[in-house]
């Protein structure tokens, strides 16, 4: 990939982000991103399949602890009429790494 081509990709990503941000600001509902700190508070750092999907790890039980939040949760609060802000709808579940199996090839295992 040449420098001109990669420059075009970066400009397209920035343009798409600006358009998305503008559309989100026009909504009466609001959007929030939840990362590692919010998950630690809300679920004691445990895996919640309603809010998260596993990127790495083999044990999907709720007893598993989240080791790393790779991509945050995107949550929409409220509706188009500007009501029901106590209700949240998950737009994108967070991608997480849960307790990694112990072994030589594990990056997160101990």
| Per-residue pLDDT at 12 | 92
Is pLDDT above 70 for 106? no
**Per-domain residue ranges of the chain:** 29-98
Is residue 103 very low, low, confident or very high in pLDDT (cuts 50, 70, 90)? low
23 burial via Cβ count (<10 Å: 0-12, 13-18, 19+): exposed
Tokens at residue 45, please? 């750092």
pLDDT score of 100 more than 80: no
From residue 56, alpha-carbon distances to 24, 35, 92, 94, 108 in Å are: 31, 17, 17, 12, 10
Residue 52 class from Cβ within 10 Å (0-12 exposed, 13-18 middle, 19+ buried)? buried
Closest CA to 83 of 36, 23, 28, 25: 28
Of residues 87 and 69, more confidence is placed in: 69
Q: What is the pLDDT of residues 19-60, one digit of tens each?
A: 887 777 677 777 888 888 888 888 888 888 888 999 888 777
The mean pLDDT value for 63-89 works out to 83
- Average pLDDT for 83-100: 84
pTM above 0.95, yes or no: no
Other C-beta atoms closer than 10 Å to the C-beta of 79 total 14
**Is residue 73 pLDDT above 80, yes or no?**
yes
- Are 55 and 97 in contact by the 8 Å Cβ rule? The answer is yes
């Amino acid at each position: 990939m040449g420098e001109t081509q990669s420059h075009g990709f970066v400009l397209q990503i920035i343009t798409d982000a600006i358009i998305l941000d503008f559309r989100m600001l026009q909504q009466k509902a609001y959007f929030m991103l939840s990362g590692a700190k919010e998950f630690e508070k809300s679920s004691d750092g445990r895996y919640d399949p309603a809010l998260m999907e596993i990127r790495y790890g083999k044990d999907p039980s709720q007893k598993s602890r989240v080791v790393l939040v790779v991509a945050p949760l995107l949550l929409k609060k409220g509706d188009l009429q500007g009501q029901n802000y106590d209700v949240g709808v998950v737009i994108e579940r967070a991608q997480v790494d849960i307790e990694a199996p112990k072994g030589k090839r594990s990056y997160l295992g101990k």
